[in-house]
Amino acid sequence: MAATATVPLQDDDTVVFPRRRRRKLGVYGLLVPAAILMGVALGYPLVRQFVISFQEYGLRQQFGQPAEWVGLKNYTDLLSDPYVWTVIGRSIAFCLVNAGVTMLVGVAFAVLMSRVSKAPRITLQVALLLAWGTPVLASMTVWQWLFDSQYGVINWVLANVFGLEDMAGHSWIIQPLSFYFVATVIVVWMSVPFVAFSVYAALLQVPEETMEAAQLDGASARQRFWNITMPMVRPVLSIVLLLQVIWDFKVFTQIYVLQRAGAPTRETNLLGTLIYSYADEFSLAGALATIMLVITLGLTGFYIRKMLKEDEL
């Protein structure tokens, strides 16, 4: 038999490999509790929602009556309803418009904070924090007063300052178009601070030496911004835009409160409020919520794949 040569392990190998192994086990040990918590908090509701969407589940089942399996009936009933498709299209359009406007305004505020002196910057930051920290329902109360048809400041300014007399007594939430304008103003106002602070933090990480070198090479301020600053903060922009699309697609409170103030429900429903309207039909609500989840994954799939590819590099 031929003798097999064995290569003795070096002293470094006997020390490094166990140390690396212990480090990996330590990392996984830190992740396991968080993974279990996320699985319990999010996994069970998602699985329960998915199961209910294949059942006939209503108030009677809440009191103990067994649920009947109906297969894809809830999905076919929803997807064959033209109104559901109208609400889906309306929700996607509302989401994309709000996310786009929020990103533009938020980036503008971030750039402004990076250019102004200390006093204006602190004032702007405090204002953004107040807008961000105000509870949603409290903010909605103020916005409803601002757009009130009889005593609202907006109507008074438009009628008395700008001379638009037709705006006196105008009801902003009766017509769907003006309803969504008001909703967009409120949603963007509440979302801009997160985008502004996130992008501002990214702008602070852009090396001053790189910007000074580009300036010495003759690059204008606009060229430095688009060719140097924006590529460096693009990862942050991608993540913020991804989160903004998810949040704007599932917006509920602002729409629901405005509807309760007198807006026509059927003409102003988004997916969140439509799901809530199926309060007595849990199976339809579960099916529509699952459809909403699939659409959300579809809208954000491009950015998720992009971020996964960047992590692999």
| Residue 275, C-beta contacts closer than 8 angstroms, at least 6 positions apart | 285, 288, 289, 292
Same domain for 22 and 104? no
Residue 28 parent element (H or E): helix 11-38
What average pLDDT does this structure show over 64-68? 73
Nearest to 235 by CA among 308, 297, 295, 301: 308
pLDDT digits (tens, 9 = 90+) for 199-208: 999 998 888 8
CB-CB contact of 215 with 225 (8 Å) = no
| Total number of domains in the chain | 2
Q: What is the pLDDT of residue 23?
A: 66
Is residue 242, in this structure, part of any structural domain at all? yes
Same domain for 303 and 171? yes
CB-CB contact of 267 with 250 (8 Å) = no
Q: What is the pLDDT of residue 7?
A: 47
Least confident of 11-25, 54-68, 163-177, 211-225: 11-25
Same domain for 232 and 109? yes
Same domain for 288 and 154? yes
Is residue 2, in this structure, part of any structural domain at all? no
Taking all residues of the chain, what is their mean pLDDT, rounded to a whole number?
A: 83
Q: What is the pLDDT of residue 256?
A: 92
Is residue 60, in this structure, part of any structural domain at all? no
Q: What is the pLDDT of residue 153?
A: 87
Is residue 6, in this structure, part of any structural domain at all? no
Is residue 299, in this structure, part of any structural domain at all? yes
Same domain for 79 and 32? no
Residue where the block lists tokens 């089942």? 61
Q: What is the pLDDT of residue 87?
A: 93
CB-CB contact of 87 with 269 (8 Å) = yes
pLDDT bin (cut points 50, 70, 90) of residue 221 is: confident
Same domain for 244 and 170? yes
Same domain for 38 and 150? no
Q: What is the pLDDT of residue 83?
A: 94
Same domain for 33 and 86? no
Residue where the block lists tokens 């590529």? 231
Same domain for 172 and 289? yes
Same domain for 161 and 39? no
What average pLDDT does this structure show over 245-255? 90
SS3 label, residue 69? strand
pLDDT digits (tens, 9 = 90+) for 72-129: 888 998 999 999 999 999 999 999 999 999 999 999 999 999 888 889 999 999 999 9
CB-CB contact of 201 with 219 (8 Å) = no
Question: What is the residue range of 190's domain?
Answer: 71-312
Cα–Cα dist 47/286, whole Å: 10
Same domain for 270 and 127? yes
Residue where the block lists tokens 């059927």? 266
Is residue 124, in this structure, part of any structural domain at all? yes
Cα–Cα dist 251/17, whole Å: 50
Same domain for 118 and 28? no
Instruction: Please tell me the pTM assigned to this model.
Output: 0.80
* Joined tokens for residue 15: 């020390």
